[in-house]
Amino acid sequence: MYNVKFAISTGKKFEEEILNELSEYEIYAFYLGYAFEVGRLFSSPFRRDLRPSFNVYRDDRSGKLLFKDFGDINRKGDCFKFVEQYKGLNTRQKAVDAVYLDIILNNKQGKKTIKTFRELSNKAKPKSVIQYIPKIDINVFEKNYWEELGISIDELPFFKIYVAEALYINQEEVCKSYDEDPIFIYKVFDKIKAYRPYTKDKKKKWFSNCTRFDIQGWEQLPEFPETDTLIITKSKKDVAVLRKLGYLAIAPSSESTLIPHNAMKVLSEEYGFRKFIVLYDRDDGGMKGARKMFLQYRGTYNITFKFIPKTYKKDVSDVRKVLGKERTINFLIKLLGYEPNEKLTILPTYGTLSDDKTR
């Protein structure tokens, strides 16, 4: 098992040899000293962290387990980068060597064993596993749904929005797509929200395993926003509509959910947003949620809330559908008090996101 192959390996090859013997999870858990749940925030190992703000998550594009510390923009990367920073090493190669010495060589007799999170939490309530079958042949009805909102089918992957053929929860089919009853998938980091806008069964309109830490639209924020104002809206659909109108927006997992404190700190200090506008639906739930967000952060950040006037539809997506692009932009300028940035409507290559886009 531990042979000359390791001794003669260097660089990337050495990393590959190590990952043939160890999982990325085992590397994180060994140095942390405890098991953790992938995709869920926990206290940072780098500092005193009263509100959990550290995350190890499965990257959608590379499939790797990456880490991100909300409290420090420089603390992010893969398992070897984590070891480099955690042990205070100054090169990646030293981190790779440390993993080999600490775990494979010196710990091969099992001096330090970390149980997986699953082993430690078998009494916990099992979480819903949501899966879907992607739809290959998108019909005119599904295409028109988004084009009426100013978003082409080719642009949907940038927002991590997909069309599904069928939806499964814990491997059981819960619904199928029909010609005029589509299923749209919103991927939020490693979680999923499924949306059926036309279903008659309200209990099957939304399916989600998102938590309050899964912020819709976060992954689509540009590294350099070129605007000091961020809209907090109520859905990924509205996030996409606003972006195509030239406005940056994010959305919590629901209108009753607050954006976490550490996330607001990162948005303000790292992205440079100086003003936040809550733009929820003009209904009871939306109004309560907007006021809750405002009261929570009004003493810390420049935050306010706006609602669509009663003479219009209750959310920005419906306004865009009725008024069209130019009239909606004019409407939003008056409502929000600032003009959009045309540069934001030009999206990066569809379906790609920066490796740095973490929760």
| Cα separation, 278 vs 264, whole angstroms | 13
Element housing 206 (H / E): strand 206-208
Average pLDDT over residues 136-141: 90
Which of 54-63, 90-99, 107-116, 321-330 bottoms out in mean pLDDT, i.e. has the lowest? Answer: 107-116
pLDDT tops 80 at residue 78: yes
The least confident of 53-62, 107-116, 279-288 is 107-116
Q: 278 or 189: whose pLDDT is higher?
A: 278
CB within 8 A of 73, min separation 6: which ones?
A: 266, 270
Residue holding tokens 């499924």?
194
- Rounded to the nearest 10°, the torsion over CA 67, 243, 196, 175 is -40
Query: Of 312, 308, 315, 320, whose CA–CA distance to 148 is shortest?
Result: 320
Q: Mean pLDDT, to the nearest integer, of 351-358?
A: 45
The bridge status of strand 206-208 relative to strand 229-232 is unpaired
Percent of the chain with pLDDT over 70: 88
pLDDT over 70 (residue 261) = yes
Alpha-carbon distances, residue 330 vs 143, 215, 226, 246 (angstroms): 26, 28, 20, 12
How much is the pLDDT for 349? 60
Distance set, CA 120 to CA 36, 98, 123, 229, 236 (Å): 9, 27, 8, 43, 34
Tell me: pLDDT of 111 over 90. no
Q: Which of 32-41, 102-111, 211-220, 243-252 has the least mean pLDDT? A: 102-111
- pLDDT greater than 90 at residue 236: yes
- Is pLDDT of 186 > 60? yes
Q: Please classify residue 359 by burial: count the beta carbons closer than 10 Å to its beta carbon, then call 0-12 exposed, 13-18 middle and 19+ buried.
A: buried
pLDDT at residue 204 in the model: 84
| Mean pLDDT to the nearest integer, 311-321 | 91
Predicted confidence (pLDDT) at residue 31 exceeds the cutoff of 50: yes
pTM: 0.66
Q: For 11-25, 134-148, 345-359, which range has the lowest pLDDT when averaged over its residues? A: 345-359
pLDDT mean over 190-196: 91
Q: What angle do CA 69, 191, 314 make, to 5 degrees?
A: 105
Residue 10, pLDDT score: 56
Tell me the β-bridge partners of 269: none
